[in-house]
């Protein structure tokens, strides 16, 4: 460990193990030089992040034959057109199975770069350089890659682990405040799943987090990555416990689809989805009313939404939830809570229950 703000974690998945390096400044690619040295590299970013950080990353990849693929920004572009653009850029760069993709951006870029890496020549190496809080604590770690389909979010994808995750927390200083808050939505999720004490920690550190204290941010990111690592190590391909990471996501994906990915940011949708999950847990008798209140207070303190936008109806959301990958025989599989930090998988939720819970969150 270099100083108080530099941290290193390892995700242990046998041959697919990799380091997660957290630094307060700079892109620590020197630490993983064997992964990129002497290779052709395609750096995938977007038109917001590339002007800010691509040059620094290219400098850090000294001696590599690097080309850039700069995509249009936004969740609306997390689609097959962008994915094909990455593959076209790889072809133009003459990349082989031993070359390397590097993502530079938020979760959208991480997911699409990972999916391009998974599909090019049946799978090549890639490195994640996440630049939003959400992607630093969640999207860059764990190997879920993919793109959206018009029918729903992340319907096309693959499990493909990166070879390293390089986090430069200074990139968060250019992140819009609303995007930063959205990242907190995913952080609260970890607390809701199985880390009640982390909810207390987030409440205590709220001011320092909002002021971007480098020490606190580094601690926040390391704690979240450690939670995610623990879950992914137990269940890499989401056969069981990893599904808990979807707390708030089934409602959240429907919220994103309902607004064509333009109403709620992903982390905002997850935050509101968690409130709905807490309400449903209460209505089904699994927990008391206070759980929803505690979550709402914390989320609201970070500027996250806790009520459904008037333009979306409960019926519309439930219709969209039918398309979710987790619906089986008309019954919904959702992550509910028995209390803070006590999430569990509930199969067999009826649509009428979903409707009632959503209506109580308007
Ligand atoms: N694979 C997974 O396990 C996983 C987990 C959670 C979320 N996700 C996915 O992540 C996506 C959401 O990620 P996100 O919230 O990072 O959104 P995003 O990638 O759209 O980034 C948010 C915005 O911030 C901009 N940006 C990024 N870094 C910046 C910086 N340092 N300075 C200034 N602007 C910056 C982006 O260009 C974008 O406009 C969703 O598609 C979601 O499905 C995936």
Could you tell me if residue 301 is inside a domain?
yes
Q: Is the pLDDT of residue 258 over 50?
A: yes
Let me know whether 129 and 246 are in one domain.
Answer: no
Could you tell me if residue 1 is inside a domain?
no
Task: Write down the residue that tokens 């990129």 correspond to.
Answer: 36
Task: State residue 144 phi and psi, 5-degree precision.
Answer: -85, 125
Q: Looking at ligand 1, which residue's alpha carbon is closest to its atom 10?
A: 107
Average pLDDT rounded to a whole number, residues 180-207:
96
What mean pLDDT is reported for the chain?
Answer: 95
Is residue 260 part of the annotated active site? The answer reads no
Whichever domain contains 330, its CATH number is: 1.20.1090.10
Local structure of residue 90 (DSSP, 8 states): H
- Which of these three, 150, 174, 198, is where a domain ends? 174
Could you tell me if residue 56 is inside a domain?
yes
CB atoms within 10 A of CB 247: 29
pLDDT in tens, 72-124: 999 999 999 999 999 999 999 999 999 999 999 999 999 999 999 999 999 99
Q: How many structural domains compose the chain?
A: 2
Let me know whether 291 and 343 are in one domain.
Answer: yes
Which residue among 76, 103, 108, 237 has the greatest number of ligand 1 atoms within 8 angstroms of its CB, and so is best to mutate?
108
At 76 the three-state DSSP class reads helix
Local structure of residue 26 (DSSP, 8 states): S
- Which of these three, 121, 150, 174, is where a domain ends? 174
Q: Is the pLDDT of residue 59 over 90?
A: yes
Q: Is the pLDDT of residue 2 over 80?
A: no
Let me know whether 140 and 231 are in one domain.
Answer: no
Could you tell me if residue 349 is inside a domain?
yes
pLDDT in tens, 286-329: 999 999 999 999 999 999 999 999 899 999 999 999 877 667 77
Pocket of ligand 1 from Cβ distances under 6 Å: 46, 48-49, 52, 73, 75, 78, 105-109, 111, 131-132, 134-135, 138-139, 142, 144, 154, 171, 174-175, 179, 182, 265-267
Which residue of the set 77, 163, 242, 332 is catalytic?
242
* Separation between Cα atoms, residue 188 and residue 154, nearest integer Å: 22
DSSP 201-243: HHHHTHHHHHTT-HHHHHHHHHHHHHHHHHHHHH-TT-SSGGG
Task: Write down the residue that tokens 């689809």 correspond to.
Answer: 257
Let me know whether 170 and 284 are in one domain.
Answer: no
Let me know whether 126 and 62 are in one domain.
Answer: yes
Let me know whether 205 and 319 are in one domain.
Answer: yes
Q: Is the pLDDT of residue 201 over 70?
A: yes
Let me know whether 164 and 198 are in one domain.
Answer: no
Could you tell me if residue 2 is inside a domain?
no
Whichever domain contains 135, its CATH number is: 3.40.50.1970
HSE, CB side, 13 Å, CA atoms: give it for residue 111.
Answer: 24
Average pLDDT rounded to a whole number, residues 340-352:
94
User: What is the pLDDT confidence band of residue 3, given thresholds at 50, 70 and 90?
Assistant: low
| Residues 138 and 228 sit within 8 Å (Cβ to Cβ) | yes
Let me know whether 131 and 78 are in one domain.
Answer: yes
Q: Are strands 331-337 and 343-349 parallel, antiparallel or unpaired?
A: antiparallel
Centre of ligand 1 to C-alpha 132, Å, is 6
Give the containing element (helix H, strand E) for 191: helix 177-194
Is residue 144 part of the annotated active site? The answer reads yes
* Separation between Cα atoms, residue 141 and residue 127, nearest integer Å: 10
Structural domain boundaries, residue 59: 7-174
């Amino acid at each position: 460990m270099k100083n108080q703000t530099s941290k290193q974690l390892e995700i242990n998945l046998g041959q697919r193990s990799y380091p997660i390096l957290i630094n307060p400044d700079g892109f620590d690619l020197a630490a993983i030089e064997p992964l990129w040295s002497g290779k052709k590299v395609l750096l995938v970013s977007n038109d917001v992040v590339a002007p800010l950080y691509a040059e620094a990353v290219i400098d850090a990849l000294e001696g590599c034959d690097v080309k850039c693929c700069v995509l249009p920004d936004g969740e609306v572009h997390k689609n097959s057109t962008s994915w094909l653009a990455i593959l076209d850029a790889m072809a133009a760069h003459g990349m082989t199975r031993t070359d390397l993709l590097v993502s530079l951006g938020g979760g959208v870029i991480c997911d699409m770069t990972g999916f391009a890496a998974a599909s090019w020549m049946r799978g090549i190496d890639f490195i994640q350089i996440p630049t939003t809080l959400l992607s630093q604590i969640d999207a860059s770690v764990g190997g879920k890659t993919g793109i959206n389909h018009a029918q729903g979010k992340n319907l096309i994808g693959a499990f493909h682990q990166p070879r390293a995750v390089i986090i430069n927390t200074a990139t968060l200083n250019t992140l819009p405040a609303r995007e930063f808050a959205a990242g907190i939505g995913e952080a609260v999720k970890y607390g809701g799943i199985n880390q009640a004490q982390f909810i207390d920690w987030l409440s205590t550190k709220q001011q320092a987090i909002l002021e971007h204290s480098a020490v606190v941010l580094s601690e926040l990111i390391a704690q979240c990555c450690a939670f995610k690592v623990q879950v992914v190590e137990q269940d890499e391909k989401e056969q069981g416990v990893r599904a808990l990471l979807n707390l708030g996501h089934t409602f959240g994906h429907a919220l994103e689809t309902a607004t064509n990915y333009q109403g709620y940011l992903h982390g905002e949708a997850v935050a509101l989805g968690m409130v709905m999950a807490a309400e449903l847990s209460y209505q089904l008798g699994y927990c008391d009313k206070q759980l929803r209140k505690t979550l709402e207070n914390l989320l609201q303190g970070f500027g996250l939404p806790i009520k459904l936008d008037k333009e979306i109806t409960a019926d519309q959301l439930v219709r969209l939830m039918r398309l979710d990958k987790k619906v089986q025989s008309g019954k919904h599989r959702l992550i509910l809570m028995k209390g803070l930090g006590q999430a569990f998988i509930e199969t067999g939720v009826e649509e009428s229950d979903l409707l009632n819970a959503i209506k109580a969150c308007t």
